Amino acid sequence: MMLATLTLFQCIVLERAPGHHGDSSYVKAIGRIYSREHLFNHSLPLAGAFTATCMTSWLYELPLIHEDSQGPLLLGACEPLCAKPAQNTSLRLLSEWGEAIIYPIAPPIALTPSPSPYSTTPSRIVLLRQASTGSLHDLQRLAFTYPYSSFDLRPFHAILPFLRDGPPNEPEADDTTVLQALVRVTTCLAVVHSTADAVEDNPYAGPRFSLTLGGHWTAIVSWIRFAIEKVDQRLPSDTMDEHITTVARFMPLFTHPLLADIVSLDPRSTIELSFSVWTVVFSRRRSINVPDDGACEIARFISEALEDDALSPAIVDVLNYGSYAPAFFSALASGCRTLRKRLSRGIVPFSFAHQLASFYLSIIGGVSKTYDQAWTYMLPKGCLKAYSQCLLQMSHCEGATTIWLVAHVGFLFSLIKHEPAHLMAKVKQLVKGDVFILLYRCLSEHKSDTYQADAAGSMVAYLACYLPFTPFHQATSRSIRSASDQLCGARHTDLVPQWQSFMSFFDFVDSTLSTSDDCFAYACDSTKHVHGTGEALKHRRACSGCENVFYCSEACQREDWEVLHRMECVGTQIASRALESRSRGEWIPRGSRGNLSAILLRIYNELKLYDAKAVTGYSLDNPHNYVTTLDLRAGSATPAITLMKKETFTPKISSFHPHNLRPRLNVLLSSCDSPSARIVEGIFRYGDGTIHVFARLGEALEGFRFLTGVGMSSNPA
C-alpha cells in the first residue's frame, strides 16, 4: 500500500536485510516510509532510539531512492552512484539494536505515489534506463521530468558518456550530426544544472558531484563553446531561445562553491566562456517576445564574478584583450533595451525585471570600479541611457516603489561622482534616459519631508550645477520638451524648493544661451588689442591649434603669438585633449566663448555688481583693483558673491590648471588698471573639482561688456 500523504507520527523504518551481518562491508538495508497506523497494524520490533546525528549520518550512507509497487525505498550501497561503503558504526547499530530502528521525521512531508505501469510519467529507473540509450527524446524527458533529489547523482552519471568525448569534428560531420550534437549537449547541460541544484547542500553527494565534474571539466567546457558557436547557426529561430537559455542557466554554477576549485585553475577561460554566452544572449537578433532567455542567470554570474577575488582580475584581463570589451558593453546596453521592450509589452513580470535590473546595476557598478576603460566603452554604447529608460519603464509597473527607483538612480549618481572622467558625457546620458521624469514623479508624489523627496531633491540640485554647460543644457532642454506631457506640472509652485530652483535656473540659462554670441561682440584675446567703444566685430578668428583663444583680426593673432600664445598653445592642446588630465578632474573651458562666460556677464550686469553699493558689506573706492567672484556651484542664478584685492588674489593663481595658462591670467589681472574696467571670476562645479572663468569687462552705455577672458580649473582641496 502506497501512502500519498503522511500525517501524524511519521518515521523511517530501516530493516536489516537477511543474510547480511556485522562483518559485511556493505549494507543492503530497506527504508520504507510508514504511517503510525501502519506501524500499529504490523508487529515491528522496536530497537530503542539513538541520536539524530548518528541517524542523519547513517541515512546519508543509504542515499539512493528506488521505486516499486510498495512505495519509495532507500537502497544501500549495493546500487550506488553517490553512496559509499557503510561504516562499521552503522553495521553495529543494525546488529546491536535488533530488527528495526524507528526515527521520526519532522516536519511532515508530502509524497507523490509511485506511478503505476499505466502511468504516463515513467519511474526514475525507467527514465535513467531509457536516457542511457542516447535518444534525444529520452534525454529530454530525463532533463525535464526526472524528480531530482539531494541524494541522487544517477541522472548526472547517465549523461556523462555523451559529454566525455567532446564535440564532433565539424569538417568531418554533416549538418544533421552537428544539429543532433547541439541539441544533446544543451539537454545534458540542463541535467547537470538540475543535479547541481539538488545536491548543493548535501555534504556527501555535493563533493562527489564536484569531484566527478572536475574530471570531465575540459570536455564539458569544450561542449559549451560548441553550443555557443553553433546555436545561432544551426537551430531554427523558434527553438533557438530554449537552447540559449539552457546554456545561460548553466553559467551561475561557475561561482558555486562546488565548482570553486575547478574554476580557479583557469579563471580566464571561464570568463571568456561567460562573455561568449553573454554576447549571444543579448544579441540584437534575439526575439523580445521571449519571457526568459537566461538573461537573469548570466547577468547574475557576471555580477557575482565581479565581486569574486579570483574571477574579478580575470574579467579585467579579458576586457583588455581583443574585441571582448566592445561586445560586452554592447550586450549590456542591448540587454537593458530588451528588458524595457519586454516590460512595455507585458511579457515579463515586474519581479523578474526587478531582479534582472538589479544585476545590471551591479554589473555597471562593478565593472566601472575594476576596469579603468569601462566608461570609454559604456558611454558610446549608451549603457547609462538604456538603463535609465529601463527604470522609467519599470516605474509604470504595478509593484514598483519610488524608494526602489530612487535608490537605483542614486547609485548611478554615486558612480558618476566617484570618477570625474567623462563627467559631462555621463550626466548627459542620464538626462537622455529621461531621469528627470523619474525624479519629478518622486517629488510630485512625496512633497513632504520624506526620504524619497530629500534624495530626489538632492539629485535635482546636483544636476542643476551643470546647466551652465552648453552640452548638458541642450540635452536637458530636449528631454524636458520631449516629455512635456509627463512634466505638465513641472512649474507648479507647490513642488519642493529644489525643483523650483532647478526650473528657474534652467529658464535663466536657456535665455542666456540663445544670446550668448552677442556677449563676445567686442572680445579679443590679444594682449595688445586696444578695447574701445567702437563697432561690434563681425567675426572672430580662433587659434587653429588649441582653439582656446579668439582674435578680432590676423594682426592681433600674430601679435599675441609673439608675446604670449607661442608659450601656451602646445601645452593647452595637450592638457585639453589628454584623457589622463581629465581623469584628474582637470578641464579647460574657453574663456572668451561659450555659455559660462555669457552667464557670468549677464549675472554681473543684472545684479549691478559694478555698483559698489550693490555688494553688501563692501565699500570700494577703486573697484577695478578688486576681483569679484561669483560662486555658481549651487546651481542658482543668485550666486554667493565675494570681493578680493588683486594683490591678495594673485598668489591663488598657482593653484589653477593648466600651468601654461597662468601667465595669461597674470596679464589679465595686471591689465585692469582703468576705473572703467573690472575683473570678474565665475566658479562652476565640475565633479569634485571646479571650473574658473576669468573675464575682463569694460564699461559700456548700459552695464559692462566682455573684453577678454581665460578659463582654468582647480582640483579639490
Tens digit of each residue's pLDDT (9 = 90 or more) over 18-35:
333 333 332 333 333 333
| Of residues 701 and 169, more confidently modeled | 701
pLDDT for res 124: 86
CB 533 within 8 A of CB 700: yes
Q: Angle of helix 311-319 relative to helix 324-344, nearest 10 degrees? A: 100
- pLDDT mean over 235-241: 60
Neighbours of 598 (CB within 10 A): 24
For the chain, the 3-state helix, strand and coil shares in percent, each to the nearest 5, are: 55, 10, 35
Tens digit of each residue's pLDDT (9 = 90 or more) over 311-344:
899 999 999 987 889 999 999 999 999 999 999 9
pLDDT for res 203: 86
- The percentage of the chain sitting over the pLDDT mark of 90, rounded to a whole number, equals 25
Lowest mean per-residue pLDDT among 116-120, 239-243, 414-418: 116-120
Amino acid at 479: S
Counting Cα atoms < 13 Å in the Cβ hemisphere of 420 gives 19
CB 142 within 8 A of CB 127: yes
Identify the band that residue 534 occupies on the pLDDT scale cut at 50, 70 and 90: low
SS3 (DSSP) at 711: strand
Q: Look at the alpha carbons of 319, 323, 328, 330 in this order and tell me if their dihedral is positive or negative.
A: positive
CB 53 within 8 A of CB 25: no
* Closest of 704, 708, 683 to residue 695, by C-alpha: 708
- pLDDT mean over 214-236: 76
Whether residue 148 has pLDDT greater than 70:
yes
pLDDT for res 268: 87
pLDDT for res 565: 93
Instruction: Write down the mean pLDDT value for the chain.
Output: 75
